[in-house]
Amino acid sequence: MTATSSVPVELDASRGESWLHGSPVLMLSRAEMARLQGAVAGGPGEAAWQAAARQAAREWCREEARATGADGVTVLTRYLDSLAHRGWGRFELLYCRPEDCGAGVRVYNSPFAAIPGARPPACRTFLAWLEGAMGWACPDPDYAPVAEERCCAAGGAEACEFVIRPSVASDDD
């Protein structure tokens, strides 16, 4: 069963910019994005990649909360919806307890797991996004969220499954 809907992407040809939901966006194939992630995975650039992804998630949530006044769980739900609307897969929030810095997330059709040769756990960028979003939502500054991909579709699972838990904040990161 498929459900498709049309979302207007506006093209400003004079500037060479595409716009979606009021923001300028780049369109690239899921496979290309997965290859970009693969190019930094395990190398010296990965920490910076992950840090930038955490920051992007945190800023998205902060901006959403500022604009709408929504609570943490609602903002996290909207963040996952926003990822889905941008083509990153279908997200399911299994549980979410910001006060405990904990959540469970399932992702169907991850682009990182879908490319040929992907090995589990393949979805490293999602770890950083989930950590960034929970880092924004968790009110306890002593908690640093750590995400783990418990199972990955690249290994044959029906969906990728992530658990976010707190670790006590340190200066390592």
Binding of Zn ion at residue 115 (CB under 5 A)?
no
53 binds Zn ion (CB under 5 A): no
User: What does the alpha-carbon distance between residue 45 and residue 128 come to, in Å, rounded to a whole number?
Assistant: 14
- Pick between residue 115 and residue 138 the one whose CB is nearest to Zn ion: 115
What span, in angstroms and rounded, lies between the C-alpha atoms of 140 and 61?
Answer: 16
d(CA 161, CA 27): 26
Tokens of 26: 């780049």
State yes or no: residue 50 binds Zn ion (CB under 5 A): no
What minimum distance in Å lies between the beta carbon of 21 and Zn ion?
26
Q: Does 113 bind Zn ion (CB under 5 A)?
A: yes
Q: Does 123 bind Zn ion (CB under 5 A)?
A: yes
Residue 152 found at the interface with Zn ion (CB under 5 A)? yes
Which strands form 143-151's sheet, in the order they lie side by side?
90-97, 102-108, 160-168, 143-151
125 near Zn ion (CB under 5 A): no
Residue 96: both structure tokens together: 């979410």
The CB-of-121 to Zn ion minimum distance in angstroms stands at: 6
Q: Which residues bind Zn ion (CB under 5 A)?
A: 110, 113, 122-123, 152, 160
